């Protein structure tokens, strides 16, 4: 995306340039809506936006990726399925205005992204955080980054109707270079943990198969966890499943009749323990232990939580031939995985994964070297 593209679309030059990263979750999968600790980080795949102020009440949006242009009145916004991706940025205008913030003129915004769509790398959270950051900056709303994450999440829930946790928005808004975010999703408390593993790096493995049934299966898992909590809450005096101690797991499972719900609880409780172990291994720079935990997490997500699928299982198995460890990241059901690899073996990993994956599925996957980066930023041109 260049300034000239904005000019050709809107017949004016842009005044600002902004960007927000993507994210991966190192470990702590599907426990953000169970009050757990998660360990995400922002990565150097970006949604970018050129922006110009308008003198009227219209907001004009254009996506270089979808080629869709939308014009809306900022005083008359409502969700419209036919507008697709544009509902994400429009929702931020709606939510912020409904909270009483002064937004009394429109904007022209030209979006582009190199985040693979439908990959589980949070392209939606990226555009939400980016739009909230843009509005906050241009209209001088005075929001801090935690508020940007919370308002972006609120917009996704209330405007777009998606029951999401806070992890994705927080990981992107609070991103810090070469650090992951230890986020307590129950209290929304966080701290940074430095990632310094020498020659070992995390890489993204993209199955290049768009996720299917993710939303319905996601809601099903939420329902199953809530049913488990109904049974266990009065017995163990807990507010969420991640407060259940690993030493109480066997007793807890004995109280649940449904075998599928037993498996969901086992994943949630053991995954919370893996997060704690992962933090300890990062601190000790215990590379082999990190790899073991990645493999254990994927196994649990495959067998107990049942959210992986053939594509993710295959790409993880291929990566583990070279990597220290690998696992799916994100919601699952295709999308992406991550691997921890000796950077000197990156090309070998790439060759093994790409060749093996294409031989099995008949189309290409992607192996992406990533950097861990800061959150949203922008400046006046």
Residues sharing a CB contact under 8 Å with residue 357, sequence separation 6 or more, in sequence order: 207, 314, 315, 318, 364, 365
User: DSSP states of 191-216 as a string?
Assistant: EEEE---TTEEEEEEE------SHHH
Query: Does residue 39 contact residue 353 with C-beta atoms inside 8 Å?
Result: no
Residues sharing a CB contact under 8 Å with residue 280, sequence separation 6 or more, in sequence order: 286
Which of 32, 129, 168, 304 is the catalytic position?
A: 168
Element containing residue 310 per DSSP (H, E): helix 310-319
Pairing of strands 200-206, 107-113: unpaired
Of 337, 122, 119, 123, whose CA–CA distance to 209 is shortest? 119
Rounded CA-CA distance 339/26 in Å is 9
Which stretches of the chain are assigned E, i.e. beta strand?
16-25, 37-38, 40-53, 58-63, 69-73, 107-113, 179-184, 189-194, 200-206, 325-329, 336-342, 366-369, 377-380
- Catalytic (active site) residue 280: no
238 DSSP assignment = -
Of 121, 148, 107, 146, whose CA–CA distance to 47 is shortest? 121
Based on DSSP, count helices (H) and strands (E) in the chain, helices before strands.
11, 13
Rounded CA-CA distance 22/42 in Å is 6
Rounded CA-CA distance 290/326 in Å is 10
Residue 186 neighbours by CB distance under 10 Å: 15
Please identify every residue annotated as catalytic.
Answer: 168
């Amino acid at each position: 995306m260049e300034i000239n593209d904005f000019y050709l679309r809107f017949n004016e030059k842009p005044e600002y340039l902004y960007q927000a990263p993507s994210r991966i979750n190192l470990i702590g999968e599907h426990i953000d809506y169970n009050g757990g600790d998660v360990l995400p980080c922002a990565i150097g795949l970006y949604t970018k936006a050129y922006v110009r102020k308008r003198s009227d009440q219209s907001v004009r949006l254009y996506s270089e990726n979808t080629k869709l242009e939308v014009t809306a009145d900022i005083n008359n916004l409502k969700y419209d399925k036919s507008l697709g991706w544009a509902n994400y940025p429009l929702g931020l205008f709606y939510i912020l205005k409904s909270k009483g913030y002064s937004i009394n003129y429109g904007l022209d915004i030209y979006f582009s992204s190199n985040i693979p769509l439908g990959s589980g790398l949070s392209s939606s959270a990226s555009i939400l955080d980016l739009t909230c950051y843009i509005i906050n900056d241009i209209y001088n709303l005075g929001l801090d980054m935690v508020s940007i994450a919370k308002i972006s999440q609120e917009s996704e829930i209330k405007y777009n109707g998606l029951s999401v946790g806070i992890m994705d928005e927080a990981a992107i808004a609070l991103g810090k270079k070469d650090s992951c975010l230890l986020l307590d999703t129950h209290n929304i408390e966080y701290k940074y943990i430095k990632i310094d593993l020498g020659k070992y790096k995390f890489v993204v493995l993209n199955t290049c198969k768009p996720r299917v049934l993710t939303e319905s299966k996601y809601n099903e898992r939420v329902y199953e966890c809530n049913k488990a909590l109904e049974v266990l809450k009065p017995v163990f005096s807990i507010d969420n499943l991640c407060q259940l101690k690993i030493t109480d797991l066997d007793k807890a499972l004995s109280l649940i009749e449904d075998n599928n719900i037993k498996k969901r609880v086992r994943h949630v409780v053991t995954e919370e323990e893996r997060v704690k172990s992962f933090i300890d291994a990062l601190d000790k720079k215990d590379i082999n232990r990190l790899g073991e935990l990645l493999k254990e997490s994927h196994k649990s997500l495959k067998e107990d939580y049942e959210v992986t699928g053939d594509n993710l299982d295959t790409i993880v198995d291929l990566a583990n031939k070279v990597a220290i460890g690998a696992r799916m990241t994100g919601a699952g059901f295709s999308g992406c995985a991550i691997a921890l690899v000796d950077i000197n073996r990156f090309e070998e990993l790439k060759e093994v994964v790409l060749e093996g994956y294409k031989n099995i599925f008949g189309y290409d996957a992607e192996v992406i070297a990533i950097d861990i980066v800061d959150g949203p930023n922008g400046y006046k041109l």
